[in-house]
Structures are given as structure tokens and as C-alpha cells.
Structure 1
Amino acid sequence: MELLQTQNRHSIIVPQEEIVVGTNKAFIEANTLEVSLSHLKTDCTIPVFSKDNECTISHQEFIGTAYDCAKSIFSDYAVSMPEVRVSHIVKGRIPSAIGKPVKELKEHEKTIYYERMMFKIEIPDVYEMINGNLVKLTLGGVRAYNQENLYSKKTFEKFKFFIGFQNMVCCNMCVTSDGYVGEMRVGSLEDLKKQILEAIGSYQMQYHLESMKALTKHKLSERQFAQLIGRCRLYNYLPKKEKVEILPFLLNDGQINNVARAYYEDDSFCREDNGDITLWNFFNLLTSSNKSSYIDTFLDRSLNAHEITQALSNSLNNRTSVWYLN
């Protein structure tokens, strides 16, 4: 399998003094809460499809299936325990508590589940250094019940899965197109396992690493950066005829503002003294700003950040035109 043939833990050992150690930040922020697997298993109900009362695939089953796949494929490597974050709590109560005022509810009478969940699993022995930043191989997924029609009969369920790298200095997630499946449609855990294994097997890890390293070789001037930020803000207001011909930009205005602020203030990825900024730093400003996205949009915007930066890199490298820098 190409994933394991192109990498081994000995080929990328880095002297300790070269490793930049980041703070213990979350890989996604927004309104998320970190929870344990045991909490999902013991304290949370599982939604059903209301017309036939069939169970959905639970968050913990998704996580467990991905973890088993990782252990199977990376059998010669350490695999970290999943880190899980959730949002949009859905509250309920047991039948005997119907009609009780909220303030009189006892703990055992309350029920909860989380509408949205994201997790990541690190393969800590597979890592690389890019411009002084330690990046580790990471896989994970997203489940968002708001993208299911729970008022119908059981049908194919939707999941998102990714494998890529996490920049450990800032916990930014780096995702590329061949490492991301935006909609896995599955009918069972077996289907889910099969599609996760296929996604991991098709991931071109070495190509992803090389494309990120190449970002360090190109810089934007202060003028180019200012034009780029302006174009990003203009994108959402373009006429439809023009927009369809341009690579989409998915971050919102508030996130673009954060990128502009971080250009001056970020401790790790700000501009150089002359105003220039490498595409690697710009890419990390995008992925850092993306951490304020909701769980159900996070991975699509992560991929978009890579596509935008790669388009800029191709433009600078080949001296070709791209709308964001015209």
C-alpha cells in the first residue's frame, strides 16, 4: 500500500531542538465541547429514524470503526486515542418525566445527544517538519445529524472522513482532496468500514507533504496580500455568471478579518519585516481562522483553504493568472 511504502518512522526523525512545540489548543473551536468516548456511550441516547424507529449509526460506532481501521492499517505504528468534540446538544426526557417542570427534573430523567460531532486520531510516529513546524499524520471524521432526515424511514446515512496532517504548533488541520470524502453514504457499519479503508488507501501522503513544503518557496508581497484579502471579500458578492468560473472561497467575512489581523499579530505565521508572507504562513492563517467554523462546515473549508493556497502557488510558480491576484 502506497501510504506505508512511502513513509516510515525512521526516515523523518527530527532533532529535538528543531521541533516547535505548540500550546494545547483545540483542533476546532467555535461552540464545541471536548467529551470522552465513555460519555457518548453511557450518557447519550441514540437518535432513530422516526417512521420505522430504526437506530442511526451512533457517534461512538463511527469513531470506533475509524479507530479499528487505523489500528489495522497502521499496525506497525502507535495509534492515539480519539479526541472528540461535539456541539448542538439536543435535550430530552424519559417518558415518566413528561409534564414535569424543568426545575424539578432529576438527572436520571434527562436525556441528551449531540447533533454534531467531530473526532481526530493521530498516528504520532508518522510526522514531518515543514518550515520548523511539526506536522503529524491525522485522520478523523464528522457526523452531523442535521444533514439527515430523521423524520423519514432509515436510509443511507451520511458521514465525512479525512486523513491528512495536523500542524502541531497551532493544531491547524491540513486536508487535501484525495484525503477527504465529503459524503460517505452508508447503510451499515460494514459499509462504513469499507469506505474508510478505501479512503485511507487512496490517500497520497507523500504528494500532500511535498505540496505543503512547496508553499514555503513562494511569498506574497504586502501589496499582493492586501489585494488577495480584498478579492476574498468581494467573492461572495460577484454576479453568478462570474462566480461560476472562479475557484470558490468558503471562509466568511469574519474569518477573513481574522486572517488580516493575524497577518500583523500572529506569533507563528505573521508577515516578515518587509511585509512579505510565505504561502505556508498564509495557508496556516486560513486554517487557523477556520477553527471558528461549525463542525458541519469545518472540513469543507479546510479543503478549500488548501485549494486556494495551491492555486496561488501554481500561479506564482507558472507565472499564470488567477482571479484572486489579478
Structure 2
Amino acid sequence: MELIANHQVEDIIQETNTIIQKSSSKFIEANTKEVSLEHLQNECIIPVFAKDNECTISHYEFIDATKEIAKNYFKVNSINPSIRISHQIKGRIPSAIGKPVKELLEHEKTTYYERMAFMIEIPNKQIVVNNQILNLSVGGVRAYNQENLFSKKSIEKFKVFIGFKNTVCTNLCVATDGLNSEIRVSSIQELQEAIHNLINNYNQDRHLGNMEKLSKYSFSEKQFAHFVGKMRMYHFLSKIEKQGKFPIQLTDSQIGSVVKDYFNDENFRRSDNQISLWNVYNLFTEANKSSYIDNNLERNVNAYEFIQSIGNSIENRIPNWYLHH
């Protein structure tokens, strides 16, 4: 692999107080749509545990709790979440039983969403990495399909992340210590404590340094083709053959998207028949936007860990199945 020396690191990572928005695209796509926090608060019912009718922690409460922690931790006055939902669960009030769908009035309909993801950008927390502006962001995922709502009230599961949003493309950059995908709590207070602990333990400098290093290494087109071929092969290996190889979570169709964007992506495509690991990483996180809400964050972190392992193998000349014949 080609090592590209960079003697002006200060030009690649630097703080900036200027908020720049270059893209309005979605931070997650799949089959999601955008809703407001007010919609979740005022127009959605709250699912309950069927056997005792105890309330779950609602999407609104989850987002609001995260907002409060972020405002206090980063000492900001106002922050607005970007919210995406999917898998709408529809219902109707008792008086509308038997009424034809086309005759239903708005007040006779009920709804909530099985899956929800949100992201909160922290104002004035921007860093330039590899000549692109990244904005510190906090967010989370709630998926009711991962709860047993047919039982009595039990511990509820949440996922929370802190990382960066690339303002060029809204790709999320989340490191391993920036995600807690197994938060299990029974109250808002416990949830807030878990969110605070994640933010407090996140090593921002290490995350930024690791991402900056990715620009120092690149693939030739031949090397990239070999790399992609090995990724496609991985999913078809036997369980024994997969041992010792990094377990990638992108699907075959998402790997296809990476290849397509290698040629066509406006921001991260090849240049002079070469592509840096930073650009490859962003092709991965772009492709991951097509993942459903309930596994998006895990795949995002997996992409980060995978590309880091590739960079470490190149830097330290460690044999890697994805790189070598």
C-alpha cells in the first residue's frame, strides 16, 4: 500500500468557530421519514407493556432527556434534534371501530413508530479533519421491536452515541467508545445517567487523531478492486474460515454501493486512480445510510473499526487477509 506523508498536520485538524452547513441530506435513509419533536410529543400514543398497562419510555422522553444532558454538559442554550422514524404502527379510537378507512377523521386515528433515530448537533463544536468540517453530534436509537411489549414492565433498551457528522455529506463518524448499544434502564433518571457517562468517557482527541491518519494511506485502483473482492468473499466463507478475519457487517448490496460511489460520489470518489482510506471510510458510512434504524449504529462503528484495522495493518506492515493474496 502507498504511504502518503503529510507534513502539515495542523492544516488537517484544527478548530473552527464558524458553523458551515454544506448539505441538507439525511443522516440515515433506509425507509425513514423526518418528523418533529412536537409531533412525537403531541400526536403519538405511548406504547405500554400489555400485561400490566405500564408505560414505556416514549421517543419524546428519550430525545428530551438527551437534549437536557447535552445542553448541560456542553453549556449551550438551544439545540434542535433531527429525527427520523420508520415502521409506523397505526390504530384508531374505540368509537371508530368498523368505520371505513376513507371515512376516518384525523382525531379518530392513533399512531406511533416502532423505530426512531435522532441526532443533535452541538453548536460551535466543529473541527476540520482532512479538509472537511466535522460537527460534534449526540444522538440515539430506540426500537420497540427489540422490546417484549406483550409482557409485564421490564428493563428497556436504548442506544446512544456521540461522534461527528461530516457536514459535507451528513455521514456519521462514530468510534467504538462513542457508542453504547446496550443501555438497559427502567427510568428516565437511569437513562440520563447512562447518557452522561457515555459522553464523559468519550475520547474525542483519540477519535479525531485516528480519522486524521486515514488520509495518509491510499489504495491504487488494483488494490481497491482486490480489497472489495475480499469483502464480497467474506460473507460466503465457512464459520471456520471466518475465524481470525475482521467481521464486516456491510451487506453485499452496500458493498456494491461503495464500488459505485468509488466512481461517482461527488466528495469521496477516486482521484488519479487512487483513493485514500479516509474516502473509503466515508464511502462505507454513506452506504450504511441504507441500513434500518435498529442496526445502523452498530454497522457504523463496525465500518470505523474495520477501516482502522486496515490502516493499522498498512502502518505496521501486519499481514491482513483483506489486503494480501
TM normalised by structure 2 equals: 0.93
Residue pair 1:78, 1:125 contacting (<8 A) in 2 also: no
User: Which amino acid letter does the alignment assign opposite residue 114 of structure 1?
Assistant: Y
User: What amino acid is aligned across from residue 149 of structure 1 in structure 2?
Assistant: N
Structure 2 residues without counterparts, runs of 5 or longer: 1-13
Counterpart in the other structure of 1:53: 53
What is the alpha-carbon distance in structure 2 between the residues aligned to residue 12 and residue 127 of structure 1?
6
Residues 78 and 316 of structure 1: CA distance in aligned 2, closer, same or farther (over 3 Å)? farther
Task: Report the counterpart of residue 245 of structure 2 in structure 1.
Answer: 246
Which residue of structure 1 lines up, in the alignment, with residue 68 of structure 2?
A: 68
Residue 6 of structure 1 corresponds to which residue in structure 2? none
In 2, distance between residues paired with 1:149 and 1:225?
Answer: 44
- Whether the aligned pair in 2 keeps the contact of 1:173 and 1:287 (CA below 8 Å) is yes
How far the C-alpha of 1:78 sits from its partner, in A, is 5.7
Aligned to 1:173: 172
Report the Cα distance in structure 2 between the residues aligned to 1:278 and 1:162, rounded to whole angstroms: 26
Quickly say closer, same or farther: Cα 1:215–1:293, change in 2 above 3 A: same
Matched residue, 1:313: 311
- The structure-2 alpha-carbon separation of the partners of 1:173 and 1:78, relative to structure 1 and needing over 3 Å to count, comes to farther
SS at match of 2:16: coil
Secondary structure (helix, strand or coil) at the match of 1:290 reads helix
Runs of 4+ residues deviating >4 angstroms: none
Given that 1:20 and 1:133 are in contact with CA atoms closer than 8 Å, whether structure 2 keeps it comes out as: no
State whether residues 86 and 114 of structure 2, in contact with CA within 8 Å, keep that contact through their aligned partners in structure 1.
yes
1:72-117 Cα shifts (integer Å, max 9, x gaps)? 1111x46521111101100001111122222222111110000000
Counterpart position of 2:205: 206
- The question of whether the paired residues in 2 share the 8 Å contact of 1:116 and 1:142 is answered with yes
- Cα deviation for residue 66 of structure 1 reads 0.3
Tell me the equivalent position of 1:5: none
Distance of 1:36 and 1:42 partners within structure 2: 10
SS at match of 2:160: strand
- Is 1:28 the counterpart of 2:31? The answer is no
Residues 218-297 of structure 1 correspond to what in structure 2 (within 5 A)? 218-273=217-272, 275-297=273-295
Cα deviations by residue, 1:42-83 (Å, 9 ceiling, x for unpaired): 1100100001110000000000000000011111x4652111
Q: The residue matched to 1:166 in structure 2 has which SS?
A: strand
Match of 2:15 in 1: 12
Give the unaligned 5+ runs of structure 1. Answer: 1-10
- Using the alignment, how far apart are the partners of 1:304 and 1:194 within structure 2? 25
Q: Give the letter aligned to residue 28 of structure 2.
A: I
Instruction: Kindly indicate whether residue 193 of structure 2 is the aligned counterpart of residue 194 of structure 1.
Output: yes
Q: 2:104 is matched with which residue?
A: 105
Deviation at 1:243, TM superposition (A): 1.6
- What percent identity do the matched residue pairs reach? 52
1:8 aligns with: none
Cα distance 1:308–1:78, how it changes in 2: closer, same or farther (>3 A)?
Answer: farther
Residue of structure 2 in register with 1:7 after alignment? none
Question: Are 2:138 and 1:139 aligned?
Answer: yes
Q: Is the 8 A contact 2:16 2:128 kept in 1?
A: no
Per-residue deviation at 1:245? Answer: 2.3
Q: Distance in 1 between matches of 2:77 and 2:84?
A: 22
1:138 alignment partner, SS class: strand
Find the residue that maps to 1:154 and give its secondary structure. Answer: coil
Q: What secondary structure, in the 3-state scheme, does the structure 2 residue paired with 1:195 have?
A: helix
Give the deviation of 1:317 after TM superposition: 0.3
Does the 8 Å contact 2:71/2:79 carry over to 1? no
What letter corresponds to residue 70 of structure 2 in structure 1? A
| Residue 323 (1) aligns with residue 321 (2) | yes
SS of the equivalent of 2:191 reads helix
The Cα of 1:174 is off from its aligned counterpart by 0.2
Q: Deviations over 1:217-242 (max 9, x none)?
A: 11112111111111111111110112
Query: In the TM superposition, what whole-angstrom CA distance separates every residue of 1:149-179 from its partner, at most 9, and x where no partner exists?
Result: 1111110000000000010000000000101
Distance in 2, matches of 1:93 and 1:86, equals 20
Matched residue, 2:80: 81
The CA deviation at 1:124 is 2.5
Task: Report the number of matched residues.
Answer: 311
